[in-house]
Amino acid sequence: MKTEKKTKKRLLLGFYFVLAVLLVSGVYAYWFALKPIRKEIKVEYSIADPSFKQSLDGLLGFAFVGGNRITTLVNGDEIFPDMLEAIRGAQKSITLETYIWSDSEIGREFKKALSERAQAGVNVYVIVDGMGSIRLKQTEINLMRDAGIRFYKFNRRKWYSVNLQINHRTHRKIMIVDGKIGFIGGSCIHDSWLGDAETEDQWRDTHYRIEGPSITQMQGIFAENWRQTTGEILHGPDFFPRIQPSGNLLVQCYMSGPKDRQEIVRVSFLYSMSAAKKNIRIAHSYFFPDELTRVTLYEALKRGVEIEVIVPGKLDSKTVKAASRVHWADLMDAGVKFYEYGPAMYHVKKIIVDDELVIAGSANFDSRSFRINDEANFNVMDRQFAAEQIVIFEKDKAQCRQMSAAELRKRSVFVKAFDRIAGLFSSQF
């Protein structure tokens, strides 16, 4: 009995400790954050109007650049072989920034490929989030450094270091090879992303290989965090070469973070949805529609815009799932169609507007990505590319079941209460 009481007491103390950390983190984030976007964006023109593109150039601080080609990589079976092939072909430089890197099968493959290129004289620079790399052994990091890789952890040097900004994470997933080939999306370096999302253990995700002049923007995003992490400026033709056109796509790569144009990703989302005239397709692993987002979607529905949302049936956190669905039923009542993906953990981060604009990258549809994390996204204005993404969206939807407001409202009082409490801390998830 005494042992049971001690166990319960420890669990209770642990719960209070976690609760206190979340509260302190929330107060800290609110206190030091810039004023959030509060007013609805009124847009009379469509995304096809030149004013939309011109405004987005100015609002995001990164202009659309022509002459690009994009290859869509679906799931680990396509993502990792393409990335590793690019690494093995590197001649000048490899810059990589990611959130999770674990001591795993795919982690060791990346370590080997990067180490070989570093030993061959290629400049290999790596930034990994301090929390996201907690499962990467120091011995593995030392081996990479011994091979010549300049490997740094973002915002976490030692486990015992005092850091008031520990809640500031890099959630970016970008890799640039020779300053000409870029990879961006939602996939990290961990075995959960292996395979083709055929089982619950294999995550469903999308990454993109971009070639063309927009890679200079992506390299600039990496260079900014490299400067913040090391105090060193990256420059010269090894990192910023002259890039010839590789295709005909208009692409805009941009960053967001508490130190780098906070809420810029949210600007991109809200402005694009406010300009929608026909349809909005949202495929997001963490879909937290705040009040302004809900108003924006309600107004779009009034304009006759069809809105579809794919969300995960399985999520890596029950608390996050609970917090995200608090307002879904109201949106369903208004006409938004929700689809729950079943086969695997759904980690896609993509929005398609009016069959023309595609928004993708590392950012989730939540407050943490908008205001706390460092993120990297890209926008594409092209009907053919959008059509390719719609095909993938529809394939995912075919593996979903449509959700209803009635089923959400049938949840028990206890579950609804838990959802509401979890929602209070949604800015930290």
Do residues 244 and 281 touch, judged by C-beta distance below 8 A? no
If you average pLDDT over residues 117-122, what whole number do you get? 98
pLDDT at res. 36: 80
Determine the pLDDT at residue 410. 82
Q: What is the pLDDT of residue 259?
A: 81
Does residue 22 carry a pLDDT above 70?
A: no
**Which position has the higher pLDDT, 196 or 426?**
196
- pLDDT at residue 23 is higher than 90: no
Q: Has residue 320 got a pLDDT over 80?
A: no
Judge whether residue 415 has pLDDT over 70: no
Domain segments of the chain as ranges = 35-58+254-428, 68-247
Task: Return the pLDDT at 411.
Answer: 72
| Token digits of residue 315 | 């999520």
Reply yes or no on whether the pLDDT at 323 is more than 60: yes
Rounded CA separation 225/98 (Å): 11
pLDDT higher than threshold 90 for residue 31: no
Q: At residue 162, does pLDDT exceed 60?
A: no
Round to whole Å and give the CA distance between 360 and 221. 15
Q: Is the pLDDT of residue 425 over 60?
A: no
Q: Sorting pLDDT into bands at 50, 70 and 90, what band is 334?
A: very high
Model confidence over 199-243: pLDDT tens digits? 988 999 999 999 999 999 999 999 999 999 999 999 999 999 999
The predicted pLDDT at position 50 comes to 96
Q: Is the pLDDT of residue 29 over 70?
A: no
> Pick from 320, 269, 277, 323: which is nearest to 302 by CA?
277
d(CA 213, CA 66): 7
407, 415 Cβ separation under 8 angstroms:
no
What is the pLDDT at residue 316? 66
Give the global pTM: 0.89
The domains spanning 35-58+254-428 and 68-247 adopt the same CATH topology: yes
Q: How many whole angstroms separate alpha carbon 223 and alpha carbon 337? A: 40
Rounded distance between C-alpha atoms, residue 157 and residue 148, angstroms: 19
- With a cut of 70, say whether residue 82 has pLDDT above it: yes
Which residue shows structure tokens 């929005």? 351
Q: Which residue numbers are catalytic?
A: 171, 173, 178, 347, 349, 354
pLDDT, residue 322, reads 67
pLDDT exceeds 80 at position 99: yes
- Encoding tokens for residue 385? 């590319």
> Looking at residue 423, what is its pLDDT?
56
Top-confidence residue, 269 or 6:
269
Percent of the chain with pLDDT over 70: 83
What span, in angstroms and rounded, lies between the C-alpha atoms of 345 and 200? 6
222, 242, 217: which is closest to 234 by C-alpha? Answer: 222
pLDDT of residue 5: 62
**E-state strands within 258-304:** 279-284
Contact 72, 283 (CB under 8 A): no
| Number of residues that this document lists for the chain | 429
Please tell me the predicted confidence (pLDDT) of residue 268.
Answer: 97
The pLDDT of residue 3 is 62
Selection from 47-51, 259-263, 319-323 with the highest mean pLDDT: 47-51
Mean pLDDT for all residues in the chain: 90
**Confidence at 1, pLDDT banded by 50, 70, 90:** low
Average of per-residue pLDDT across 261-288: 96
- Report whether pLDDT(302) > 80: yes
**For 122, what's the count of Cα atoms within 13 Å in the CB-facing half-sphere?**
24
32 has a pLDDT exceeding 60: no
Q: Where are the alpha helices (DSSP H) in 162-284?
A: 215-230, 264-275
pLDDT-derived band at 260, boundaries 50, 70, 90:
confident
**Domain 35-58+254-428: which CATH class?**
alpha beta
Assigned fold of 68-247: Endonuclease; Chain A (3.30.870)
pLDDT at 163: 53
In tens, the pLDDT along 339-384 reads: 999 999 999 999 999 999 999 999 999 999 999 999 999 999 999 9
